[in-house]
Chain A
Amino acid sequence: MKKLKKLKKLPKYILLAAIAAFFLFPVIYMLAMSVMTSEEVSRILDFSSDGFKSIDLIPQVFSLEQYYQVFFRRADYLLEFWNSIIITVPTVIGQTVVCALAAFAFGKLEFPGRDKLFFVYIILLILPTQVTLVPNYIVLNNMGLLNSFLAVILPGMFSAFGVCLLRQSVRYIPDAFIEAARMDGASYINIFLKIILPQIKGGLVTLFLLCFIDNYNLIEQPLAYFNDSEKYPLAVTMSEIGVNDAGIVFACGVMFMIPPLLIYYIGQDDVSSPFTLSDKG
């Protein structure tokens, strides 16, 4: 009996493994190419001659030359890595705080025009970022914030997506908790910190992860709002690097890939869908 059940699962596993390999192939390719020498990478990426190009995953000579070049010789890539971190971390932290407060307001508090305002927020979800690029530019120019990191951090902190996501989580908390707390004389801040926050922890972690990945890959806002090329985050340089520095593209990519991976692994356990009922009596 047991063997039959195991055999039935086999085609499912094979299909899943094939799809996973298909998705993981770029990552594996990048890792394999990052341990090749620069000359071999330039030779493989040379598309000037016509003909059949084969995919070589196994390097001829295993060398850490690319990592040496990226970490020790090219300080500009390291500085851009720190630019990425400087742009992403404040944005994500600010976004979590602002959206949690806003979600509490939209979810549990009553004020006139609450539903209509929330409808406007949902419409903002549908709006692509490119539409607001030029108005944002004009506002930032008038505020004098162009060409500083705040130009990307401040607009990023106020995003509609987080409010909608967390509001769903807040809605699932029973009203009885809040009424009981009001009767015991708790202020709104106490209710927020002690009752709401622990119960939407899953949604907070999800928001953190999604915002991190979203802001880490920003290309248009830094390109539009920054004048100095020294302030560009690593994502912008990675998009142009294939032309200039083909020899060390892949090691750069691996370095670029590590922070989101780590953040995802750390937060993986607490990620939960906001649509599950939490009944912590």
Chain B
Amino acid sequence: MKKKSKLKKAIIIFGITFLAVVAVLTYFAGTIEYMLLPRVSVANIESGQISGEPVTEQGVCLVPNMSVVESDGIAYIFILYPREDNTAYIEEVNVQVRDRNNMYCEIKLDPTFTSYSVVYETSRDLVNGDKVVVEAN
């Protein structure tokens, strides 16, 4: 008999602990997700050319050299779409590299993206469509 009531007590305690742990994890789910998001640094996309001449075509702009990724002739950058509560999500956008010097890279991209910011540094791996947190420089 003693064994049974001890087992019952143990099970009740386990059940209450389980529910409490799940409640705490649900309550802090937002905080935990925020902690695990990658932290990125962004810079504004400036319209212009490296040579300093005024821009003639649409979509020609300057981005920091570190933000362009090239592979097999295709080049892309990560554009930041901000949302409220300090998170944002990123999108991979194909660009055409025209020129570069040691700080900036002149690219041609779709004019609809020129008002956004571009990612140049990250703390975790980025994939197209990821949610990220913008860190103030």
Interface residues of A (CB under 8 A from B): 71-73, 75, 78-79, 81-82, 85, 255, 258-259, 262, 265-266, 269
Q: Which of B7-22 contact A (CB under 8 A)?
A: 7-8, 11-12, 14-15, 18-19, 22
A75/B30 in contact, CB under 8 A: yes
For residue A79, give the distance in angstroms from its CB to the closest CB of chain B.
6
Q: How far is the CA of A54 from the CA of B24 in the complex (A)?
A: 39
| Residue from A75, A78, A85, A265 within 8 A of B11 (CB atoms) | A265
Mind listing 21 A-B residue pairs with CB under 8 Å? Answer: A71-B25, A73-B36, A75-B26, A75-B29, A75-B30, A78-B22, A78-B29, A81-B22, A82-B22, A85-B19, A255-B22, A258-B15, A262-B15, A262-B18, A265-B8, A265-B11, A266-B8, A266-B12, A266-B15, A269-B4, A269-B8
Q: Separation in Å of the A253 CB from the closest CB of chain B? A: 15
B102-122 contacts to A, CB under 8 A, are: none
5 closest pairs, A vs B, by CB? A75-B29, A262-B15, A78-B26, A265-B11, A71-B25
Q: Which residues of B are interface residues toward A (Cβ below 8 A)?
A: 4, 7-8, 11-12, 14-15, 18-19, 22-23, 25-26, 29-30, 32-33, 36
The answer on a CB contact under 8 Å between B33 and A75 is: yes
Q: Nearest-CB distance from A22 to chain B (Å)?
A: 26
The interface residues of chain A lying within 8 Å CB-to-CB of B26 are 75, 78-79, 81-82
What is the distance, in angstroms, from A41's C-beta to the closest C-beta of chain B?
21
Contact B11 A262 (CB under 8 A): yes
Q: Whole-angstrom distance from the CB of A207 to the nearest CB of chain B?
A: 20
Shortest C-beta distance, B41 to chain A (Å), equals 24
Kindly list 19 other residue pairs between chains A and B, CB separation below 8 angstroms, not including A72-B25, A73-B32, A73-B33: A71-B22, A75-B26, A75-B29, A75-B30, A78-B25, A78-B26, A78-B29, A79-B26, A82-B22, A82-B23, A85-B19, A255-B22, A258-B18, A262-B18, A265-B8, A265-B11, A266-B11, A266-B12, A269-B8
Minimum CB distance partner of B32 in chain A: A72
**Contact residues in B for A259 (Cβ distance below 8 Å):** 15
Complex Cα distance A267/B94, Å?
Answer: 63
A158 shortest CB reach to chain B, Å: 27
B84 CB to closest chain A CB (Å) equals 18
